Structure 1
Amino acid sequence: MTCKLPSDCLNEILEYLEEDKLTLHSCLLVNRLWCEISVRILWRNIWNFINSNQLRPFRIDLSIFNTLFACLPNESKELLYKNEIFIPTSISKPMFNYAAFCKVLSIYGVDKLVDNIFRDKPTINSLSLEDRNYLATNEIIKMFANQIYSLKKLSCYYHHCNINFSFPYFPGARNLLELHCSSNLPSDFFYQLSQLCHNLQILSIDFHNYDASNELKELVSLQNSLKTLKLSAYDSSWKNIIPALKNHTNTITKLHLYGDSGNLPFSFVSSFTNLQEFIFSFIDGINFEDFKILQYVNFSKLQTLKIPYQCPKPEYIMKFLENNGKNILKFHTDENDKALSLSVAKFCPNLKSLFIIFNNGELDILKTIFNNCQNLESIKVWCGKSHFSEYLSEKGLFETIINHSSKNFCELKIYNSSNSDVTLEDLESFFISWMNRTPKKLLSFIIIKDDYYYDKCKSLDDRKEIMKIIEKYEKLGVIKFGTIGYEEEDKEEEEVYYYQ
């Protein structure tokens, strides 16, 4: 007698496979119940599915597009057929209403999906490629708007799309939790959302040559539980959105500011006293005079401070750490100031993750940080030489970690911009010493690769020998090895998500 799992139990089990798309895809073939549950999970965020399968993107795009095309209502199909927009598909009648399963909608994703399908197809009528994209994208978006009953995340960056679609009424946005948008979207879009959506938890606004409209300000002001706010300004300013933020000074715990000018206003940050995470990323920071105010503000709950790219004056950050460093667990900055590095050791005793640039000859500062920050688990370090500076040597770094890191330390990220001075013997000695440490702990050993330099750093034979040693100690359970591209790591630090 076969045992059949209850559907709610099976659903809970398959939920654990949400990130494992291949296994979920296999579950489609078991039976109809398994298929229905798996489809609901797979279609929850189809944009993630596309991004996780970069090796064969067009086949996946075509499959998703064919399914969406088959799900279109008859009036949409008739409009597209009338304009000779037709994609041959084997799907005559879809098994499910796939669009209704979506919880995440990316307008940019729809636009790119349609563009990928039509790009190489010859024009067979008077419509241009842009017009074909416009019609098809509009109909797909209208279908999502009418059929998604509970949208959780909407991403709509107007300047990333080459179309001028109109926004339909979107009742499923009533449950929206996350909105990523640009300030130059039509005002009726923000008005419609403000009538429906009052429970956003994450809001990201990109300002590009366009200030916030009254409708956008109203939408921001009406939120009840906003927790994460991301503001980006390029050739523009977020100044006129600031008054709409006054209702959220107690609820916002994560604040991310991105811009191309240090003259953007950010003294308003002082009112967000419940901040737990603050990312402050400016490409061209010249003055940062507003940080004079922030250096004296006490953020008693702040745990994460990241300052990619340009940094305010080191003395401002040092004073900020003096007031707030006790609670900070993660501190990342591209600055390489000796006094600032020493202030980390002095004011951040509970630090768990650190990225700060050390110059050559500053191993003593790293030792001081290890000795004073006994909870430190992870560091990212630059090694080698650049056109402007000389950083730590890998050999010295390895010796410092073995002799001075605490029992909690377990992750090392290295970026080397020039030929490495470490020998095969040095590397193996480091792994042996780590293996003999007490207590024993798996070391996450991550190389940040800049492909331009990486190809020049070592000969192919040298890299093969290095990998042999790394693989040997991976098999022994001493290390867990990984590589990450320099740009990918840089994105992780910035946490800018335009293309969602």
Structure 2
Amino acid sequence: MVYRLPADCISEIIEYLEEDKYTLYSCLLANRLWCEISVKVLWRNVWSFYQQRPLRVALSILSTLIACLPSESKELFHKNQILIPTPTSKSPLFNYAAFCKVLLTHKIIRLVDDFFKGSLSVNSLSLKNRKDLVVNEIIKMFAKQIYSLRKMTYYCSNINFTFAHFPGVQDLTELCCSSNLPSNFFHQLSKICQNLQSISIEFSNDVSNGLIELISLQNNLRSLSLIAFDLNWENIIPVLTTHSNMITKLHLYSGVVSSPLSFVKSFSKLQEIIFTFYEETDYEDFTKLEYIKFPELQILKFPTLCPKSDHVIKFLENNGTNLKNFYTSESDNALRLSIAKYCPNLKNLFIVFKNGELNILKSIFSNCQNLESIKIQCGKWYLAEKDVLETIATYSLNSFYKLKLYNVNRRSDLSPGDLESFFINWRNRTSKKLLEFIVIKNENYIHLDECEENMKIIKKYENLGIIKLVIKMLCDEEKDEEEEYYYYYC
């Protein structure tokens, strides 16, 4: 007798595989039930497949969406001589649009742009009008079909957005938008959606009353991102501070036009702060924060420019005790020393070590005894890979398990003997944690994995369960380090 798992059990298993796209693809081929469940998971955020994928993937997504459109939309396309091929002449197996929980309007615009790239207008409609027509029909379909929307991005004001027939928007928890959208858009949304947990605003126009109303009516706002290049966020600060006792994550992008930072001191519950600065003038206001204590702060990042080190050191003196994650590309010696002194509970760290500063790295391992992960640049003016490995083998404690190495030299200086010595030391540690050994590659350089003898050593210790080698391209690593925010200028 063949035993079959109940459908809800299969669904839970496949849900668990959400991040494992390749296994999900295999599930599509098992049977009708597995296929249907897998398709729902894969289409939940279908836009993730579009990121850095070949054009054929983008066109495949678009053609599937076109196949799902109602007949009146297809007739409208036919009338205006818009011919977008579909995978089959028959109706799709599933209503794919209904499975989506993430609606990224900028991605839809790009999909359509990619299809029409190089096209010439062959009828009375201009190319722009034809593209707008396709975009709006697709969005109209999503509005009617999505029964539970979790995330939406909306930057382009020439999209015909209406909530009259959009039942799924009531479940919206994350909104990324531009300040230049019509005030009525925010006004309509505020009547339906009052439980947003995350809002990201790109400032490209003065703040409207509708946007202020939307923010003021939220009951569960936890995460806030402000992006300002041409305008600052000063006008919206009063309504933001009404949520100061609830917001736990704050990400500030500032460039070209300096934006005030002093308002941050009112957010006493912050657990994560990311300051992304592009001009030195952007962080002048940081001096007003260096003496402020954020008792729950665990994550602090400066992905680009960093304020002057003495101000950051003072900030760490007041807030370093609870920090779990610290990231900066600043190369100041005093700042590196302050980490060991003021941040004893760090778990994840990225900071630049100059050549000759091996003792600082040792000091950090000695004083930050919960450190689990570190990212280190090696070569040229920085530490040598061999010295880094020897230091980690000797000074890292049992909690440590993840090492990221990026060699700025054109060729790795690690020999097979260096690697084997390090792996033997790791195998002999009291803790038997698998080491996640991440090599960050620049496509123009020769890295340790491109040496046959090195790879033999690595494979040997992978097979023994001592290490796990992960190869990442530099461009992908930089994207992982920085939260993704998308801009589409119309």
Instruction: State the TM-score, normalizing by the size of structure 1.
Output: 0.90
Within the candidate set 212, 237, 261, 2:207 is matched to: 212
Structure 2 counterpart of 1:410, which letter?
Y
Residues 34, 496 of structure 1: alpha-carbon distance in 2 compared, 3 angstrom cutoff: closer
**1:198 Cα deviation from its structure 2 partner:** 0.6
Q: Is residue 138 from structure 1 mapped to residue 136 from structure 2 by the alignment?
A: yes
Could you tell me whether the CA contact under 8 Å between 2:232 and 2:257 is conserved in 1? Answer: no
Alpha-carbon separation, structure 2, partners of 1:347 and 1:206: 34
SS of equivalent residue, structure 1 residue 318: helix
Could you tell me whether the CA contact under 8 Å between 1:262 and 1:282 is conserved in 2? Answer: no
Could you tell me whether the CA contact under 8 Å between 2:255 and 2:282 is conserved in 1? Answer: no
Could you tell me whether the CA contact under 8 Å between 2:232 and 2:258 is conserved in 1? Answer: no
**1:317 Cα deviation from its structure 2 partner:** 1.1
Structure 2 counterpart of 1:464, which letter?
E
Q: Is residue 80 from structure 1 mapped to residue 72 from structure 2 by the alignment?
A: no
Segments of structure 2 that go 5 or more residues without pairing to the other structure are none
Within the candidate set 144, 148, 167, 2:161 is matched to: 167
Partner of 1:482: 470
Q: Deviations over 1:248-282 (max 9, x none)?
A: 11111111111225832111110111111111111
Alpha-carbon separation, structure 1, partners of 2:23 and 2:368: 42
Partner of 2:177: 181
Alpha-carbon separation, structure 1, partners of 2:282 and 2:22: 50
Partner of 2:21: 21
Alpha-carbon separation, structure 1, partners of 2:30 and 2:415: 53
Partner of 2:66: 69
Could you tell me whether the CA contact under 8 Å between 2:229 and 2:257 is conserved in 1? Answer: no
Partner of 1:127: 125
Residues 205, 3 of structure 1: alpha-carbon distance in 2 compared, 3 angstrom cutoff: same
Alpha-carbon separation, structure 1, partners of 2:11 and 2:208: 43
**1:288 Cα deviation from its structure 2 partner:** 2.4
Q: Is residue 334 from structure 1 mapped to residue 346 from structure 2 by the alignment?
A: no
Alignment of 1:307-322 (within 5 A): 307-322=302-317
Residues 404, 245 of structure 1: alpha-carbon distance in 2 compared, 3 angstrom cutoff: same
Structure 1 counterpart of 2:36, which letter?
E
Alpha-carbon separation, structure 2, partners of 1:220 and 1:378: 37
Structure 2 counterpart of 1:354, which letter?
L
Structure 2 counterpart of 1:398, which letter?
L
Partner of 2:420: 428
Q: Is residue 221 from structure 1 mapped to residue 216 from structure 2 by the alignment?
A: yes
Alpha-carbon separation, structure 1, partners of 2:466 and 2:474: 25
Within the candidate set 458, 464, 472, 1:470 is matched to: 458
**1:195 Cα deviation from its structure 2 partner:** 1.6
Which segment is superposed worse, 217-226 or 412-421?
A: 412-421
Partner of 1:268: 263
**1:124 Cα deviation from its structure 2 partner:** 4.0
Q: Is residue 39 from structure 1 mapped to residue 36 from structure 2 by the alignment?
A: no
Structure 1 counterpart of 2:468, which letter?
K
SS of equivalent residue, structure 1 residue 236: coil
SS of equivalent residue, structure 2 residue 158: coil
Residues 474, 27 of structure 1: alpha-carbon distance in 2 compared, 3 angstrom cutoff: closer
Alignment of 1:189-208 (within 5 A): 189-208=185-204
Could you tell me whether the CA contact under 8 Å between 2:440 and 2:472 is conserved in 1? Answer: yes
Q: Deviations over 1:354-374 (max 9, x none)?
A: 111111111111111111111
Could you tell me whether the CA contact under 8 Å between 1:262 and 1:288 is conserved in 2? Answer: no
Alpha-carbon separation, structure 2, partners of 1:198 and 1:474: 50
Alignment of 1:58-457 (within 5 A): 58=56, 60-89=57-86, 90-119=88-117, 123-158=121-156, 164-169=158-163, 170-208=166-204, 210-261=205-256, 263-286=258-281, 288-385=283-380, 390-418=381-409, 419-452=411-444, 454-455=445-446
Residues 2, 411 of structure 1: alpha-carbon distance in 2 compared, 3 angstrom cutoff: closer
Alpha-carbon separation, structure 2, partners of 1:37 and 1:431: 42
Residues 200, 287 of structure 1: alpha-carbon distance in 2 compared, 3 angstrom cutoff: closer
Residues 143, 214 of structure 1: alpha-carbon distance in 2 compared, 3 angstrom cutoff: same
**1:475 Cα deviation from its structure 2 partner:** 2.0
Partner of 1:494: 482
Structure 2 counterpart of 1:106, which letter?
L
Identity %: 57
**1:122 Cα deviation from its structure 2 partner:** 6.1
Could you tell me whether the CA contact under 8 Å between 2:241 and 2:267 is conserved in 1? Answer: no
Q: Deviations over 1:33-85 (max 9, x none)?
A: 33433332222111123448x3x541x33433333223222322221111011
**1:306 Cα deviation from its structure 2 partner:** 0.7
Q: Deviations over 1:426-483 (max 9, x none)?
A: 222222222222222221111222223x24x78x9x6333333322222222211112
Structure 1 counterpart of 2:395, which letter?
H
Structure 2 counterpart of 1:13, which letter?
I
Instruction: State the TM-score, normalizing by the size of structure 2.
Output: 0.92
Could you tell me whether the CA contact under 8 Å between 2:440 and 2:471 is conserved in 1? Answer: yes
SS of equivalent residue, structure 2 residue 199: strand
Alpha-carbon separation, structure 2, partners of 1:480 and 1:2: 38
Residues 31, 91 of structure 1: alpha-carbon distance in 2 compared, 3 angstrom cutoff: farther
**1:491 Cα deviation from its structure 2 partner:** 2.4
**1:185 Cα deviation from its structure 2 partner:** 2.1
Alpha-carbon separation, structure 2, partners of 1:325 and 1:294: 14
Alpha-carbon separation, structure 2, partners of 1:123 and 1:286: 46
Alpha-carbon separation, structure 2, partners of 1:250 and 1:489: 33
SS of equivalent residue, structure 1 residue 231: strand
Residues 411, 34 of structure 1: alpha-carbon distance in 2 compared, 3 angstrom cutoff: closer
SS of equivalent residue, structure 1 residue 44: coil
Alpha-carbon separation, structure 1, partners of 2:388 and 2:137: 57
Residues 403, 13 of structure 1: alpha-carbon distance in 2 compared, 3 angstrom cutoff: closer
**1:424 Cα deviation from its structure 2 partner:** 3.2
Which segment is superposed worse, 435-444 or 14-23?
A: 14-23
**1:499 Cα deviation from its structure 2 partner:** 6.7
Q: CA RMSD in A?
A: 2.3
Alpha-carbon separation, structure 2, partners of 1:287 and 1:203: 22
Alpha-carbon separation, structure 2, partners of 1:400 and 1:117: 53
Residues 287, 11 of structure 1: alpha-carbon distance in 2 compared, 3 angstrom cutoff: closer
Structure 1 counterpart of 2:428, which letter?
N
**1:30 Cα deviation from its structure 2 partner:** 4.3
**1:7 Cα deviation from its structure 2 partner:** 3.0
SS of equivalent residue, structure 2 residue 237: helix
